[in-house]
Amino acid sequence: AQTVTQSQPEMSVQEAETVTLSCTYDTSESDYYLFWYKQPPSRQMILVIRQEAYKQQNATENRFSVNFQKAAKSFSLKISDSQLGDAAMYFCAYRSAPNYGGSQGNLIFGKGTKLSVKP
């Protein structure tokens, strides 16, 4: 079974600085997808960024980028120019490719990292 590990329960960053959130996963599959979701105090789950395992290029969305190391099974999230609105729980998630081994596309989540942003 696949597992996702976020080893940093809490992180803190100064406004305008850069922070990196760690995520590792365990799988024997070669085709899969990785996601980062943000959960602010409002409780809403917001997709931040996604990565397809067969793509070597790291995904980027504005101030958010990932460092995807497939061999190391690592998928870290870098937030540049941190803003107060970035304060939230961040969840890393794994999904098998649809129909791979019976997968129906559900996500396997890490336990989350709580990010605080200091003004």
- Residue ranges binding other proteins (CB under 8 A): 4, 9, 33, 35, 42-45, 47, 50, 52, 91, 97-98, 104-112
Number of alpha carbons in the 13 Å side-chain half-sphere of residue 109: 12
Q: In angstroms, what is the minimal distance from the CB of 77 to other proteins?
A: 15
The rounded distance, in Å, linking the Cα atoms of 90 and 7 is 12
Residue 82 or 96: the one with the smaller Cβ distance to other proteins is 96
Who's near 82: CB < 8 A, 6+ residues apart? 13, 14, 15, 16, 17, 18, 19, 117
Residue 88 or 110: the one with the smaller Cβ distance to other proteins is 110
Residue 15 or 53: the one with the smaller Cβ distance to other proteins is 53
Q: In angstroms, what is the minimal distance from the CB of 92 to other proteins?
A: 9
Q: In angstroms, what is the minimal distance from the CB of 52 to other proteins?
A: 6
Who's near 28: CB < 8 A, 6+ residues apart? none
Tokens 């870098």 belong to which residue? 78
Q: In angstroms, what is the minimal distance from the CB of 105 to other proteins?
A: 5
